[in-house]
A and B are shown apart, each in its own frame.
Chain A
Amino acid sequence: MADRQNEITTATKAFILKEFLPGEDPDELLDTTPLLSGGILDSISTVKLVGFLEDTYGIEFQAHEISEDHLDTLQLVAQLVQEKLGSS
């Protein structure tokens, strides 16, 4: 379970670093770094991230899940994806 969550976190982090934070030190992006409220992800980047997660893990997001409550940190993202994988 924890391994799976770590794997999701790592993949998501790699995607965010490549797409939205090119050239940034990976160590600076922590599991708890605020992504939406911190301004790293705007609405366009958020839907790109959602697209990535849906395509990578074969899951579907509900509209209300695209929010700070679920996507504001890598930790929250991994939790949500894990939940979805568990329920599918």
Chain B
Amino acid sequence: MSSWGAFLGLAFQLALVLLLTQRFGIEVDRGLVKLTPLVFGGFLIHAILPLRLRLPFFLALSIAGFFVVFETHLAAALLAIGLGLIAVCHFPVPWFLRIVLLVGAGATLTAMCAGWIDAEWGRRIMPILGSIFMFRLVLYVYDLRTEKQRASPWETLSYFFLLPNAIFPLFPIIDFKTFRRTYYNRAANEIYAKGVSWMLRGILHLLLYRLIYQNYTPPAASVHDLGTLALYMVSGYALYLRVSGLFHLIVGMLCLFGFNLPETHHHYFLATGFNDLWRRINIYWKDFMMKIVYYPIFVRLRRRDATLAMVVATLVVFIVSWWLHSYQWFWIRGTFPLTIVDAIFWGIFAVAVLANSLLQSRRASARSLKGRAITPRAALARSLKVVSMFSVMCMLWTFWTGGTLEAWNRLLAAVAHVPTLQYVWMATNLLILVGLGVAYQLLVQRRWEQWQQRQSFARRSWASTVLMLGLLLLGTPELSGLHDNRLVVSVRAERLNEQDQALLLRGYYEEVLESERMLGGLWQAQANKPTRGFLLRQSGTMRYLEDEIHERELLPQIDTIFRDAAFRTNDWGLRDQGYSLAKPPRTCRIAVMGASVEMGSGVRNEEVFEALTETLLNEANTGISYDCYEVLNFAVNGLTNLAQVHLIDSRVLAFDPDIVLFFSHDADRRLVMKHIERIIARGTAIPDDLRTLLLGHPSPETIAEGSPESRLTVWRYQKSLLRWIYTNVVTSCRRAQVEPVCVYLPFPLGVVEPESARGPRMLEVAAECGFETIALQGDVLRPEGDTTSLVLNTWDEHPNPEGHRRIAKELFRQLIEHEHALGLGLTYNVDEAP
């Protein structure tokens, strides 16, 4: 095939890859869609330009990318600060002074990033600015000092302002020397083909990540035997696919512009030991640490004692790695988490790598130039090592990402008493894996490698094209007809899984996410969270009441920003306008009970559906029964149904409501169970009948012990518990002559509910307990086209203003429909409802 023919083929493949990123919404929040025309158009133009013009063109393209993604003033600020930092590296002053100046500039940016200098624009560009300079500046200065051949301004500027960096804050640490050395060091089409292939590989990693994250990542609380523990650990480690996927996508994109960079990851799940893993996983990080930390220490100490040099250099590398992970997090998120779990993780890793290194330094490590035939013994040894290393990493990773020692202890406690047979079963499974590994090496591996070598460029291209077309078909339900297939739907768009949605709904960040480091969806949520007022606790808006069942309440007279939206509370600590405690005459009062959705997380006060419903009711008022309708919002972020029971008695009834709207979501039962675990662990008093219901006997201490039996007991009773909650709400309301209404609201909006949906079943229980019931599931709550059109964004699926508007409309319509039970006095034709 001619070189132009091959290029056109690659351009077609790139178009398919970019189409795939659009179809599957890859990094849609980050703005990859916006960058797509630049990548494709830029690739075509760049490739036909003379070589001397390509680097300036790439730089111009990258800068255009920053302006496309950011608002003009932010992109300009980012470029100006970046140019300033680069200029400092070239000041005609001694090196020491340049370093001092850079540290000074870094300190100023640190203050901005940490919020000590109040600059909104600074905070908005800091993740990307940090991502560009936090490591690359170190490498640049290092190479500037040691390299004989000066880099051209185009090389320097292109190195810092890399096109994909406009959208990806988590970026591989690209070495400046490698960046320069590999630029068009092979035939152009070969590099482009590698780029397209790696981008495709990145997409496959990301889709696999979604598949695992959405379908095979169980909650820690569900671990009760070795099987569930294994699934929990393996899926947790597998979530790292997200990082390798992104890095492949980034480096693949750079290959399209002639930067023939090496792999960032290489079959890391198949590592045979800690050293091997260190060489395979995030290879650029390893190279950075070797260059900046290991070799300088080793060279200095080797003369004294080579072994000592190796020990010290290795230990320092891991201490610095630990610190730099927090440093990296600081620039991306503005906090600097250093936890004991991090220290233990890096400590174990350091000791294991050191032991491996010492062993390796004492004995010859055999490698092969041509690839030897694999003997059964070698295959068995390798397979055993891979399975063992993978198992150890699953455990270590689970420990690390769990965030706390308590979380790890809870997991171990959950499997402390499993029967011996389960261990036999687990060992058998591992042996089967080893056997499969041996069989693969002996029967498939060599043939597969030889087959791959025999394939021509054209044939490999065809195979990739067919794969991409297949994926496109999968991502296009209109063509594939796979509208409702659970697995296919789960990979089609980026969203939180059920477990993380529940955590988001409960206000998980307020309680648990102290470690601020995760690799699952919540990690992304954290990395993408709004710049202003993410945590109610941190914004001083919430009061925590450890001795009370309801645990939390909003403070009165707050005027702040929460998740980028204006947030105000009235004199009573309600997110609402001002109301008197005593109900005015001829006024109908409706109390809304709920959590973050009802409180209006991420939208302004006046956009919350509760406020909109009040407006609709008053606009439709005919004055027959009431002069006015007041809808009071008692919802608080993270308030569970159990907390609401308590709140109705202690707070809501004092406002003399006529109707209580008790909102329910799918995750309620699970959140209530977690709530109970918390209050029992804290020793908060719970009603006797509830305690009896939970345990079958009156001693709550057995739950606090956290034994698997008590945990199971709690979970078994969750349905009865829901009934207990509903009955108590109804009893309290009826006693005060208030009409209790249970309102089911799906979370997130727009999700097609399976037939087995819990919502309707929850409402059945509510009705049996005496609630009037309303299900907000009308078509009005189904988004047209894009499933994210009614939610804040892909990672925070709380309703956006349009979502709230639709909820209000549907709630209003349903309230009118239930006139017979509620007696609102609205004679309104529901078909005419706005």
Q: Is A66 an interface residue (CB 8 A)?
A: yes
Q: Annotate B287-315 by CB proximity to A: 1 below 8 A, 0 otherwise.
A: 00011001110110011001000100000
When chains A and B are docked, how far (Å) is the Cα of A19 from the Cα of B291? Answer: 23
Knowing A44-B360, A44-B361, say if A63 contacts B299 (CB, 8 Å): yes
State whether B299 touches A62 (Cβ < 8 A).
Answer: yes
User: Which listed residue, A28, A48, A60, touches B361 by the CB 8 Å rule?
Assistant: A48
Q: Please tell me which stretch of B72-80, B363-371, B560-568, B640-648 contacts chain A, meaning at least 4 of its Cβ atoms lie within 8 angstroms of it.
A: B363-371
State whether A47 touches B310 (Cβ < 8 A).
Answer: yes
When chains A and B are docked, how far (Å) is the Cα of A14 from the Cα of B279? Answer: 26
State whether A51 touches B306 (Cβ < 8 A).
Answer: yes
When chains A and B are docked, how far (Å) is the Cα of A61 from the Cα of B671? Answer: 61
Knowing A20-B364, A25-B369, A67-B291, say if A47 contacts B181 (CB, 8 Å): no
User: Which listed residue, B146, B296, B303, B366, touches A22 by the CB 8 Å rule?
Assistant: B366
State whether B357 touches A44 (Cβ < 8 A).
Answer: yes
When chains A and B are docked, how far (Å) is the Cα of A18 from the Cα of B366? Answer: 9
Quick one: which of B96-153 are within 8 Å of A by CB?
142-143, 146
When chains A and B are docked, how far (Å) is the Cα of A50 from the Cα of B298? Answer: 11
Classify the secondary structure of B's interface with A: helix
Which residues of A have CB within 8 Å of B460? none
CB distance from B158 to the nearest CB of A (A): 20
State whether B177 touches A24 (Cβ < 8 A).
Answer: no
When chains A and B are docked, how far (Å) is the Cα of A40 from the Cα of B368? Answer: 8
State whether B365 touches A45 (Cβ < 8 A).
Answer: yes
Residue among B142, B295, B303 having the largest count of chain A Cβ atoms under 10 Å: B295
Q: Is A21 an interface residue (CB 8 A)?
A: yes
State whether A23 touches B366 (Cβ < 8 A).
Answer: yes
State whether B146 touches A21 (Cβ < 8 A).
Answer: no
CB distance from A79 to the nearest CB of B (A): 14
When chains A and B are docked, how far (Å) is the Cα of A40 from the Cα of B294? Answer: 20
Q: Is B262 an interface residue (CB 8 A)?
A: yes
When chains A and B are docked, how far (Å) is the Cα of A24 from the Cα of B559? Answer: 75
State whether B360 touches A33 (Cβ < 8 A).
Answer: no
CB-based nearest B residue for A61: B299
Quick one: which of A16-74 are within 8 Å of B by CB?
18-25, 28-29, 33, 37, 39-40, 42-45, 47-48, 50-51, 54, 60-64, 66-69
When chains A and B are docked, how far (Å) is the Cα of A69 from the Cα of B287? Answer: 14
When chains A and B are docked, how far (Å) is the Cα of A40 from the Cα of B142? Answer: 26
CB distance from A12 to the nearest CB of B (A): 15
State whether A69 touches B177 (Cβ < 8 A).
Answer: yes
State whether B369 touches A33 (Cβ < 8 A).
Answer: yes
CB distance from B274 to the nearest CB of A (A): 12
Which residues of A have CB within 8 Å of B143? 64
CB-based nearest A residue for B302: A51
Knowing A61-B299, A63-B299, say if A43 contacts B294 (CB, 8 Å): yes
Which residues of A have CB within 8 Å of B275? 42, 44
State whether B369 touches A66 (Cβ < 8 A).
Answer: no
When chains A and B are docked, how far (Å) is the Cα of A54 from the Cα of B303? Answer: 9
When chains A and B are docked, how far (Å) is the Cα of A75 from the Cα of B461? Answer: 36
When chains A and B are docked, how far (Å) is the Cα of A63 from the Cα of B295? Answer: 5
Knowing A37-B262, A63-B295, say if A20 contacts B369 (CB, 8 Å): no
Quick one: which of B598-638 are within 8 Å of A by CB?
none
Knowing A48-B361, A63-B299, A64-B146, say if A40 contacts B181 (CB, 8 Å): no
Residue among B146, B294, B365, B370 having the largest count of chain A Cβ atoms under 10 Å: B365
When chains A and B are docked, how far (Å) is the Cα of A76 from the Cα of B275? Answer: 26
CB distance from B825 to the nearest CB of A (A): 80
When chains A and B are docked, how far (Å) is the Cα of A24 from the Cα of B302? Answer: 30
When chains A and B are docked, how far (Å) is the Cα of A5 from the Cα of B337? Answer: 52
When chains A and B are docked, how far (Å) is the Cα of A51 from the Cα of B364? Answer: 15
State whether A19 touches B310 (Cβ < 8 A).
Answer: no
State whether A63 touches B369 (Cβ < 8 A).
Answer: no
State whether B366 touches A20 (Cβ < 8 A).
Answer: yes
Which residues of A have CB within 8 Å of B310? 44, 47
State whether A21 touches B366 (Cβ < 8 A).
Answer: yes
State whether A28 touches B369 (Cβ < 8 A).
Answer: yes
State whether A39 touches B367 (Cβ < 8 A).
Answer: yes
CB-based nearest A residue for B309: A47
Which residues of B have CB within 8 Å of A25? 369
When chains A and B are docked, how far (Å) is the Cα of A67 from the Cα of B370? Answer: 24
When chains A and B are docked, how far (Å) is the Cα of A22 from the Cα of B363? Answer: 11
CB-based nearest A residue for B146: A64
Closest 5 CB pairs of A and B: A64-B146, A63-B296, A63-B295, A28-B369, A66-B295
Q: List 8 A-B contacts (CB under 8 A).
A: A21-B367, A21-B368, A25-B369, A40-B369, A64-B146, A64-B291, A68-B178, A69-B181
Chain A residues in the interface with B (C-beta under 8 A): 18-25, 28-29, 33, 37, 39-40, 42-45, 47-48, 50-51, 54, 60-64, 66-69
Chain B residues in the interface with A (C-beta under 8 A): 142-143, 146, 177-178, 181, 262, 275, 279, 286, 290-291, 294-296, 298-299, 302-303, 306, 310, 357, 360-361, 364-370
A42-B275, A42-B279, A44-B275 provided; 20 other pairs, C-beta below 8 A?
A: A20-B365, A20-B366, A22-B364, A28-B370, A29-B369, A44-B357, A47-B298, A47-B310, A48-B361, A51-B302, A51-B306, A54-B302, A61-B299, A62-B299, A63-B298, A64-B142, A67-B177, A67-B291, A68-B178, A68-B181
